[in-house]
Chains A and B, each alone.
Chain A
Amino acid sequence: MMTEDRLYSKDHEWILPLGENLVRIGITEYAVKQLGDVVYVEVPEVDAEVSAGGEIGTVESIKSASEIFSPVTGIIIAVNEELEDGPELVNASPFEEGWFAEIQLENPIELQGLLTEEQYKTYIAELAAEEEA
């Protein structure tokens, strides 16, 4: 399901460029698999300012709560309100319907520091190997 037009963070978010300085973010299948059944999602508020690496929400599974970190700096211009009543969308469709928020970028150059699909795949393969060992 990963697509080449997306970028990825080491915190397992995907970043989809939507237009000029605008991105949509969500969490990857790898993250969802680690979490298990998602039962609650706390999204940020529209108009909130976020900085790269800062916390912008929480995804809760039955077993644990995991923070979502913003991979970029900017302003939240939309959040996925469907998640409020349908947190399971994150499990069912992490790359599409389970998207998290849209951010107007302040420093578009930050995107260059993110991983390409290929780099991200290598990264999660390494994580899997570490876990096996």
Chain B
Amino acid sequence: MGEELKQTPLFNYYKENNVKLMDFGGWALPIQFSSIIDEHQSVRTYAGLFDVSHMGEILVKGNDSEAFLNYLLTNDVSKMKNGQAQYNAIVNENGGTIDDLIIFKLDEKGYLVTPNASNSDRVFQWMEKHLTGDVVLENKSEEIGLLALQGPHAERILQKLANNDLSKIKPFHFVQHIELKNLSPVLISRTGYTGEDGFELYLEAGETEKLWHLLLEAGAEEGLQPCGLGARDTLRLEASLSLYGNELSDDISPLQGGIGFAVKTKKEADFIGKAALTAQLKSGVDKKIKGLKLVGKGIARHGYKVFAENGSEIGVVTSGTKSPTLGDSIALALLTTTGSDVGTNVKVEIRNKLVDAVIVQTPFYKRESKNKL
């Protein structure tokens, strides 16, 4: 295995250290280094380090960058200040989600857009197709490596390598050109996908392995562990963060997929999909992502059907696992909106058996805020 799969800059490191690699959406990446549960708990308690270099990076530059992105994306790009990151969705004319992504405002004329790995080419092509005005696109996905350092000890660990005061980087903000030891400049954002405090570090692909080692060394005392994508998935699910291909897809709008907060139909700029999303808001969405907790035994997995107590089919599980933090079997499911209030008893079909579950408030897990507001 390996030849036909895309490789991140850490591929050789994985091979040399006999880290087992899996096909993760066409990329060779580790699901786990030791155990998903250990890695998960390490992120919740101390810190974890993830290779997320498979994520895409697209540079959008030129005088009309803001107008262009505002036409393409559902959130209000005009509200962004330099050094700010914004969670966003890119939708088609019907309001179906092409991708969810984070955009970084580098300066008045430049943005960094980070689509999901599997959607990277598609997003780039979509952008090219709708290109207008003075805008230049550059797909930097292969040149940029990306590591995510997540967990309550993340700041303390990263601070050992940095001269500037990292506590000044607020959530969903970033700083460019940071010198970490003798590496080329790194872009550090206070973002992540685990429900914990943490940073994402964008750097030259060729230096990713160096940074990986520097961080693991710096974090050894703080309990930092290398983590695979298995823990990333259980962490994001506990935090109820939607994942493309599960809670979001071409057939699921951002309003249905649990990221309505990134849809600003009232922003000044017109945008692709606006009419469809406005209509959905007006009439109310017919189906929506909800949280489930299993009362009976088993694990509800992606694709399992969900039924109301009266036996009618009301939706489908989009992601499910046993929550390592809570011990419960939890799931996100796309359910018809009517009759899906929190507290409603439902049933999940697990291997031809109907297992009791209840609709619960999300997120399943929320960290205690340590930031002074």
Contact = CB atoms under 8 A, between A and B. Distances in A.
B1 A131 contact: yes
Interface string A60-96: 1111010000000000000000001000000000000
Interface string B29-72: 00110011100000000000000000000000000000000000
A62 B321 contact: yes
| Interface hub of A37, A40, A62, A132 (most chain B Cβ within 10 A) | A62
Contacts of B324: 62
Interface string A30-59: 000000110110100000000000000010
Nearest to A133: B1
Contacts of A60: 298-299, 322
Contact of A36 (B230, B297, B298, B299): B230
A84 B32 CA distance: 25
Given A36-B31, A36-B230, A131-B1, A42 B298 contact: yes
A93 to B, nearest CB: 15
B208 interface: no
B329 interface: yes
Interface residues of B, number: 17
B129 interface: no
A131 B1 CA distance: 7
Given A62-B321, A63-B230, A40 B297 contact: yes
A40 B230 contact: no
A61 B322 CA distance: 9
Contacts of B1: 131-132
A126 B299 CA distance: 32
A62 B298 contact: no
Contacts, number: 41
A121 B143 CA distance: 44
Contacts of B31: 36, 63
B318 interface: no
Contacts of B351: 42, 58, 65
Contacts of A42: 297-298, 351
A36 B32 contact: yes
Contacts of B297: 40, 42, 84
Contacts of B299: 39-40, 60, 65
Given A62-B322, A63-B230, A37 B37 contact: yes
B322 A39 contact: yes
Contacts of A65: 299, 301, 351
B234 interface: yes
A36 B35 contact: yes
B301 A62 contact: no
A97 B89 CA distance: 49
A84 B35 CA distance: 21
Contacts of A63: 31, 36, 230
A73 to B, nearest CB: 22
10 contacts: A36-B32, A37-B37, A39-B321, A39-B322, A40-B299, A58-B351, A62-B37, A62-B324, A65-B299, A84-B297
Interface of A: 36-37, 39-40, 42, 58, 60-63, 65, 84, 131-132
